[in-house]
Amino acid sequence: MKPTLAATACVNLAALRHNLAQIKQTAAKSKITTIVKANGYGHGAVPVALALESESDSFGVARLEEALELRSAGISKPILLLEGFYADSDLPILQANNLHTAVHCLEQLEALEQAQLSSPIKVWVKIDTGMHRLGVRPEQIPEFISRLHACPNVEKPLRFISHFGCADELENPITMQQISVFTELAESGCERSIAASSGILAWPDSHLEWVRPGIILYGVSPFSDKTAQSMGYQPVMTLKSQLIAVREVKAGESVGYGATWTAKQDTKIGVIAMGYGDGYPRTAPNGTPVIINGRRVPLAGRVSMDMLTVDLGANSQDKVGDKAILWGEGLPAEEVAQHIGTIAYELVTKLTGRVEMVYLNEQV
Ligand SMILES: *Cc1c(COP(=O)(O)O)cnc(C)c1O
């Protein structure tokens, strides 16, 4: 038997750099906040940030712990907490580590007003321009801004941030409304940021001074009907494993838990070392594509914790040890996600610690 290649995520750092260069061409006048939250969308926040630091103007994360992980790894560019800080006691840590923070609610404003800090914090006023998840409501912005101006713990000029709810829907009028609410409320001359990947790709009016690319950096599309590859981006993660068994199954026999797939004719079933214990969704239905030896074969039977099964066909020559690709090169994660009824964001972000991470093309 050959040495095994069990669940492995190959992360192509050259593709990552290519994707950032593409974004810079598309939003040529904007500075870049490279989004590396949720462990760099499952790709590894530190290796991604190290690969992109020289070309990024700042980084964006969701949690303080994520920002501190980047600082520990030597990342020195500004880091923005997209949802701001969660506790008063975080403020001195923000100050000590040059972390910018979104400020989206009264509780955060009051914490800033009451803190004892030796130097001011860099804040991005988060405006709720219509998504109604986080942000200060438009009618409350004037008072909010005047309190921030009066607060010595807040660096001036202020910066402004917002987020789209429907920018992946190219016909949806909400996006243009959000842009106009944002540009009217943000103070003139201040730095502004509203576009994430779909804004960058589909809404040039949203680019403004800063853009915040996430998923498209990783070579995955934010749109349901268009792959990133068709727009000139390259997949960064290829999820691989190998066949650990090739078995004969006779017509009428079923495969796996719950006997959810039955062979229509005699065939060969390939067993791949990849399961929901690695983060491959158990909800993937029969027919979800997998690549074996360069060809697509359908998932056959329920995904189990450590294995999944595919129909190789009666005439297959595939052998134990042959490589399988679950998504990435040759099989867009967007397409797999469509079969599963989710978005590729979730697929790449949910890999578990059992998946070995391998980084390719580390040198610039
Ligand atoms: C996650 C996130 C982004 C990046 O979104 P993508 O769709 O992955 O590009 C940008 N801004 C905020 C506030 C986010 O939470």
**What's the confidence (pLDDT) of residue 4?**
67
What residue type is 170 in one-letter code?
A: L
DSSP 2: P
Q: How far is CA 23 from CA 29, 232, 254, 261, 335, in A?
A: 11, 10, 47, 43, 22
Closest listed residue to residue 29, CA positions, set 152, 192, 148: 192
Average pLDDT, the chain: 97
212 lines ligand 1 (CB under 6 A): yes
| Contact of 274 with 308, CB cutoff 8 Å | yes
Q: What is the DSSP string of 266-311?
A: SEEEEEES--TTTT--TTPPTT-EEEETTEEEEB-S---SS-EEEE
Ligand 1 atom index nearest CA of 62: 15
Q: What residues act catalytically?
A: 37, 257
**What's the confidence (pLDDT) of residue 362?**
83
Ligand 1 atom index nearest CA of 196: 9
- From 22, 23, 35, 48, the mutation candidate for ligand 1 (largest count of ligand atoms within 8 A of CB) is 35
304 C-alpha to ligand 1 centroid (Å): 32
- pLDDT confidence band for 92 (50 / 70 / 90): very high
Compute φ and ψ for 323, nearest 5 degrees.
Answer: -80, 145
35 lines ligand 1 (CB under 6 A): yes
Dihedral sign, CA of 292, 294, 298, 302?
A: positive
Both structure tokens of 109: 């404003």
DSSP 223: S
Cβ-based neighbour number of residue 187 at 10 Å = 15
- Could you report the per-residue pLDDT of 105-136, keeping only the tens digit for each? 999 999 999 999 999 999 999 999 999 999 99
Q: Is 0.85 surpassed by the pTM of this model?
A: yes
- Could you report the per-residue pLDDT of 226-263, keeping only the tens digit for each? 999 999 999 999 999 999 999 999 999 999 999 999 99
**Cα separation, 286 vs 83, whole angstroms:** 39
Closest listed residue to residue 347, CA positions, set 292, 274, 293, 287: 274
- From 82, 125, 182, 334, the mutation candidate for ligand 1 (largest count of ligand atoms within 8 A of CB) is 82
68 C-alpha to ligand 1 centroid (Å): 19
Ligand 1 atom index nearest CA of 161: 13
**What's the confidence (pLDDT) of residue 186?**
97
121 C-alpha to ligand 1 centroid (Å): 22
* Residue keyed to tokens 């996430």: 214
196 C-alpha to ligand 1 centroid (Å): 5
Q: Is 25 left (phi over 0), alpha (psi -120 to 50) or beta?
A: alpha
| Chain centre to alpha carbon of residue 245 | 33
- pLDDT confidence band for 363 (50 / 70 / 90): confident
270 C-alpha to ligand 1 centroid (Å): 38
- From 212, 231, 348, 349, the mutation candidate for ligand 1 (largest count of ligand atoms within 8 A of CB) is 212
**What's the confidence (pLDDT) of residue 357?**
97
Model confidence at 14: pLDDT above 80: yes
- pLDDT confidence band for 2 (50 / 70 / 90): low
**Cα separation, 39 vs 354, whole angstroms:** 15
Ligand 1 atom index nearest CA of 217: 9
**What's the confidence (pLDDT) of residue 5?**
75
Model confidence at 205: pLDDT above 60: yes
